Amino acid sequence: MPNFFPRWTNLLPLKLAVCLVLIGGGVVLAVSYYWTPRYSRVGYQPQQPIPYDHSLHVGQLGMDCRYCHTHVDESSHSNIPSAQTCWNCHQHVKTNSTKLEPLRRAVDESYENYDGKPIEWKRIHKVPDYAHFNHAAHVNRGVSCVSCHGKVNEMEVVWHEEPLTMGWCLDCHREPEKHLRPLEAIYDLDWKPENANIVVDGKKLETQREIGLHLKEHWNIVPPESCGACHY
């Protein structure tokens, strides 16, 4: 009996298997590339249009986070400082520095290259559009900038410190005592629990867990763990 199928069809199953593997691998790579937003890329460290050194301004000069991020304790969002905020100091300090060229172009009307365009800072931390994070709700209930952004006061170039994934957020909601601190220490990025002056029933609290559990009970903090807490 003659063979109904040509010889090349003998390799067809193998070819189909290879194609399926390649297609599957392509889909995985595409999803990981296009569906993985910046918020989960720990270590992401873009170069900014102006090399703003946080370790100098915050660590050495002692600038408060709220001088630049003015509404972090009042708004759900932490704003990026305007060029005028930077110019308040730098119209008097390092005025001829080449590093400040974008600032002068944005705000100094007497500068020959002035164009009035805002500085295009590159965003590092971003909560995905399908989730909601309220900065004010957290910093006003004992969660410091350090918990999410790391020791920014030691960073010459700021990087993405924590993953900000759903699992990471839920870990904090389940055990908030690991992060809670007195309100006066929220913006003190070098704060240590053993230096806190908190005494309860004659005993000084010296560990993060002791202080966190006390503040959790004192402020009646019960972080939600349901989907509706972050996904409206």
In this predicted structure, the answer to whether residue 38 has a pLDDT above a threshold of 80 is no
Contacts of 63 (CB under 8 A, 6+ apart): 57
Residue 128's pLDDT is what?
Answer: 80
38, 151 Cβ separation under 8 angstroms: no
Structure tokens at 61: 């000069």
How are beta strands 199-200 and 203-204 bridged, if at all?
A: antiparallel
Q: Which pTM value belongs to this model?
A: 0.79
Contact in structure between 218 and 179 (CB atoms under 8 Å): no
Q: How confident is the model over 78-122, as pLDDT tens digits? A: 899 999 999 999 999 998 899 999 999 999 999 999 999 999 999
- Other beta carbons within 10 angstroms of residue 91's beta carbon come to 14
Q: Is the pLDDT of residue 220 over 70?
A: yes
38 against 152, higher pLDDT: 152
* Host H or E run for residue 12: helix 12-34
Hey, what amino acid is at 61?
Answer: L
**H or E stretch at 200:** strand 199-200
> Given a cut of 90, is residue 24 above it in pLDDT?
no
Q: Would you state the structure tokens that stand for residue 31, as one six-digit string?
A: 């999803």
What is the separation, in whole angstroms, between the first and last Cα of the chain? 68
- Phi/psi region, residue 203 (left: phi>0; alpha: psi -120 to 50; beta: rest), is beta
Paired strand residues for 125: none
- What average pLDDT is seen over the chain? 90
**Quick one: pLDDT at residue 28?**
79
| Number of helices and strands in the chain (H, E) | 9, 2
**Residue 202 region by backbone torsions, left for phi larger than 0, else alpha for psi between -120 and 50, else beta:** left
Comparing CA positions, the residue from 120, 122, 121, 124 lying closest to residue 38 is 124
- For residue 128, the SS3 value is coil
Q: Which whole number is the average pLDDT over 16-41? A: 74
The 3-state DSSP class for residue 150 equals coil
